[in-house]
Structure 1
């Protein structure tokens, strides 16, 4: 596919984020028509400063639904001498319900459900965001530390009747959410680094595209990207 056609295609899938910075598409092959029953998105934020502002996420669709879900990590300031990570698992689908204490109704001011948790976690380790079907249209999001084997529950929600499994492709993104309100200067973006790991499911291993910039600061935020053993590393900021 020509690059212009590729970017036109992925643009239609981009999250409706005013200040998104970087996108990256993912794909899993061999997905049944009813969708995936589970998917794992690895993330490594070892070089990211411990401060709020960034959201590193993968976006996903459910078969039979137009709107999306997000899941990912956000850095936080240390607390009581411990590093803190914020895990997120959200649905933007109207009619989503939850009884999980980590979740609440609404997502970014619209319909859906948002689930999140702050927890002491080592930035140096790779964290897998694991999304899995519980039963029917109920899904859970969890974090798994690939070094220590520890698990952290993010949340659980139930999608509307008739919703099927997770579709086999979508996009991830890097967002600096303080820029979502008010003006900003591109060269004032704080530094961050994240590696998006190659997604996988019980049907097999997926793939990642090269990362790409989007938004109103393209070429102005110190963007660089490279591939490593885990996946695609993205750095932005100064």
Structure 2
């Protein structure tokens, strides 16, 4: 899925279940970004509560200098394996002409051109994972999920952007995406609670800010949506209904 919204760069709460699509977003900004763009940005993300089923996609989206298309990274819940929780990490590019030789990646993203990378691991719900997007050289970008408790680095994937692409921008825009759903799908939405921390970068004197989340799509006002700023930094949001599976 290519989640977009008519704001600055966005974090998105997307349901990929057949019963719902785009749900909520939250814009992020980074100050003091050079004209050539950032060489790295990290997005702290915590899935506090969510059923261990496929469906939700918690994503951060970012644009590149000299490109109208975007990349994104995020986490998706998955069914437990051998009684252990599993998360699905994603790192993708919608920039036409992107290529990859990484074994975690494949050509094509959401049915279009470019590259999508992913990996699954035994993760911990309620734990913060830092989603690092970092340039290695001039055009190669690497996605990593960092366990903030153990320090373990989970390699999500890597891809090479086409010649001329620059660093990560401080802003980009798009539109909310929705697909066809069966009747009463908003009332069937599973419950989720997530924390989107302030993004950060190694670029000197750059400060990241995550805004309050907002609803969009066709379930606005129908999914018990709540959002608030966190004292420790970032934004909490939750929506959906306990006991629902989206089916």
Measure, in 2, the Cα distance between the counterparts of 1:151 and 1:172.
31
Structure 2 SS opposite 1:45:
strand
For residue 136 of structure 1, report the CA deviation from its aligned partner: 1.3
Match of 1:49 in 2: 51
Match of 1:26 in 2: 28
Q: 1:10 aligns with which of 7, 23, 28?
A: 7
**C-alpha distance after superposition, 1:165-186 (max 9, x if no partner):** 00013589999xxx84542521
Structure 2 SS opposite 1:30:
coil
Match of 2:130 in 1: 128
Does residue 1:68 correspond to 2:65, yes or no?
Answer: no
Measure, in 2, the Cα distance between the counterparts of 1:30 and 1:216.
36
**C-alpha distance after superposition, 1:126-181 (max 9, x if no partner):** 00000000111110000001111111000000000010000013589999xxx845
Whether the 8 Å CA contact 2:45–2:194 is kept in 1: the answer is yes
Cα gap change, 1:148 to 1:14, in 2 (>3 Å): closer
Whether the 8 Å CA contact 1:59–1:171 is kept in 2: the answer is no
Cα gap change, 1:174 to 1:196, in 2 (>3 Å): farther
For residue 81 of structure 1, report the CA deviation from its aligned partner: 1.5
Structure 2 SS opposite 1:168:
coil
Match of 2:195 in 1: 195
Point out 4+ residue stretches in structure 1 off by more than 3 angstroms: 11-15, 170-175, 179-182
Unmatched tracts of structure 2, length 5 or more: 15-19, 242-247
Cα gap change, 1:13 to 1:118, in 2 (>3 Å): closer
State TM-score, norm by structure 1.
Answer: 0.88
Whether the 8 Å CA contact 1:25–1:171 is kept in 2: the answer is no
Match of 2:238 in 1: 235
Measure, in 2, the Cα distance between the counterparts of 1:233 and 1:174.
20
Higher helix share: 1
Whether the 8 Å CA contact 1:25–1:172 is kept in 2: the answer is no
Does residue 1:215 correspond to 2:212, yes or no?
Answer: no
Whether the 8 Å CA contact 1:60–1:171 is kept in 2: the answer is no
CA RMSD of aligned residues (A): 2.6
Whether the 8 Å CA contact 1:20–1:173 is kept in 2: the answer is no
Task: Write the mapping of 1:68-147 to structure 2, written as runs, cut at 5 A.
Answer: 68-147=70-149
Measure, in 1, the Cα distance between the counterparts of 2:49 and 2:146.
19
State TM-score, norm by structure 2.
Answer: 0.85
Cα gap change, 1:11 to 1:166, in 2 (>3 Å): closer
Aligned length: 227
Measure, in 2, the Cα distance between the counterparts of 1:237 and 1:207.
26
